Structure 1
């Protein structure tokens, strides 16, 4: 358990990006990328299928809980969101999105540009609720979470390889890293000062990638892991640049790649018996509507790292946050 000193306490958190954070925004979009039906959410608040792509909480939920902000991060598009929830932060993330706008187009979800527009709308609401001065203080002192590259590699460069036909991996990584930098600069212009950025995970070992690209033995796909490493290096380089060019900014990087690789390679010491297959369905390819109320699910999801073929169980997410948080607190303060 990480204890947060009182004077270091965080008062608000906002999340941008993809399904590692999305807490239900896609429920309100015309897209097939949804998780607002069983068995998703089977352990969340008594079995509510909230739109989170896991059995319980997401990474952003665990971060706000560990920081003592609130129990979970609500989706901004949820029509039932309460006004009193807004000053402590909300989630703008949209499952299926990426740093590449094409990735969002393929899946008809909200690109980062639209998530930024929602944040502007949120600021107007916040001004009305707490007043302009208090709103500026909240925006400046809160923490911004971003995770947004996995779909670019798994979808636009992988399963629907439109970008693989146009770019080699290095050039595509460079495009994504530049897009990421421009997004962070836009957030900064809107008042963001404390940023936590997640890199691409060990995506070549996720069940769907192994099943589609790993051959008859479903091996981890080295190509995608190498591409992720290439991108992560470029992303870190852009973050270094931003640290020097954006005054009074604090920018923290979460090494999601090595955290997820460590859990996969040493899974038994984390209590996982299966890291090759997902808990839902056959464990090979089901995600979103393919993981549904008719899908068999594993008897004990705490023994599985993966809930569906592209997303972790809440136990996996909790371990990621537990490992990342001490370093994040050091960075933020």
Structure 2
């Protein structure tokens, strides 16, 4: 982060402290859709191997217990909730915590291995984005029962919505699925994903959402698992994957701008995680990290979900020195930096 961005972050943080002095969050609720980057435990309740509700996941989280987050501690969305003034995080919709007054300040529908392409969640028995929208409809009805029609409407229209998708579509489906990569070029596949994204946003808008932040693809060619599996030189990022991500992100920006023009009152902001994460990976020492190639869990190669477990050989003792926790997901320390960048990028959602 450069000097001007740092100054801006300080100003924004100061503003938020002033606004939240009365202990009220800056928005009535935070509602989350997407994949493993923001899943806080919905997959715990599914018949799927893509879970993280066991050690060493969560070892640096509250009470040092796993929750279903694919991280050693907090996700970027958790830090975002804190930045917005919330004292708790939106609960996983399928968890026991998602009931009563806990629903008033938001909920999390995200499911690890979900995505914009319809077969991605099917492959891993995850919750599709279409099903997440169906759960959102249920949630709206529950909200009316708890808060009344008028208050529920205010919560829905004033909430901030966070959407994360696309990574699983490429890494866990397209790149390893000959039925896809032989049928579509990466450019054609990204077009299909963008069409799905556009439809999702329009459906979410029709259900009352007005302030939506959508994350870009990260530098998918630089995650440890991608380098290990696909790179001819196991110490370098896979350039073609990163190029695909940049192309997708450009389309995401253009489509989002088009949707804003089309849908009256929509505030849709693209939250770039590509460049901030690439900066951490290429210059880890500038942000206090010692390791960006290997992940903390086990060997840091392909470990994620069941492959990251207490018996993983070589799991690091200090995750704060690592950019990646497992083969795909950042550590809490990296998530904190990403969340600060999301704050500056998404300030228009709360202003």
TM range (shorter): over 0.9
Gaps of 5+ in 1: none
State the distance in 2 between where 1:217 and 1:202 align.
Answer: 16
* Equivalent residues, number: 333
State the distance in 2 between where 1:326 and 1:237 align.
Answer: 20
Whether the aligned pair in 2 keeps the contact of 1:145 and 1:196 (CA below 8 Å) is: yes
SS at match of 2:204: helix
Structure 1, residues 270-325: CA drift from partner, whole Å, max 9, x if none? 11110001100111111000001111410111000000000000111110011220
**Shift >4 Å, 4+ stretches:** none
| 1:71 maps to 2:88 | yes
SS at match of 1:145: strand
Shift of residue 217 of structure 1? 3.0
1:108 maps to which residue?
125
2:322 maps to which residue?
304
Whether the aligned pair in 1 keeps the contact of 2:117 and 2:193 (CA below 8 Å) is: yes
Question: Which residue of 132, 139, 145 corresponds with 1:122?
Answer: 139
| 1:213 maps to 2:230 | yes
Whether the aligned pair in 2 keeps the contact of 1:62 and 1:72 (CA below 8 Å) is: no
2:306 maps to which residue?
289
Whether the aligned pair in 1 keeps the contact of 2:98 and 2:107 (CA below 8 Å) is: no
Question: Which residue of 330, 336, 347 corresponds with 1:318?
Answer: 336
State the distance in 2 between where 1:104 and 1:161 align.
Answer: 17
Whether the aligned pair in 2 keeps the contact of 1:97 and 1:110 (CA below 8 Å) is: yes
SS at match of 2:66: coil
* Cα RMSD after superposing both structures: 1.4
Structure 1, residues 211-266: CA drift from partner, whole Å, max 9, x if none? 00012434210111000111111111110111101111111111111111111122
State the distance in 2 between where 1:92 and 1:166 align.
Answer: 31
Shift of residue 161 of structure 1? 4.3
State the distance in 2 between where 1:44 and 1:332 align.
Answer: 27
State the distance in 1 between where 2:143 and 2:83 align.
Answer: 24
2:48 maps to which residue?
31
- Normalising by structure 1, we get a TM-score of 0.97
1:6 maps to which residue?
19
State the distance in 2 between where 1:163 and 1:97 align.
Answer: 17
State the distance in 2 between where 1:257 and 1:216 align.
Answer: 22
Whether the aligned pair in 2 keeps the contact of 1:280 and 1:291 (CA below 8 Å) is: yes
SS at match of 2:346: helix
- Normalising by structure 2, we get a TM-score of 0.92
Change (3 A) 1:252 1:245: same
Whether the aligned pair in 2 keeps the contact of 1:11 and 1:69 (CA below 8 Å) is: no
Whether the aligned pair in 1 keeps the contact of 2:211 and 2:349 (CA below 8 Å) is: no
1:328 maps to which residue?
346
State the distance in 2 between where 1:209 and 1:172 align.
Answer: 19
Whether the aligned pair in 2 keeps the contact of 1:41 and 1:50 (CA below 8 Å) is: yes
Question: Which residue of 68, 71, 91 corresponds with 1:54?
Answer: 71
State the distance in 2 between where 1:161 and 1:274 align.
Answer: 33
State the distance in 1 between where 2:265 and 2:123 align.
Answer: 37
SS at match of 1:306: coil
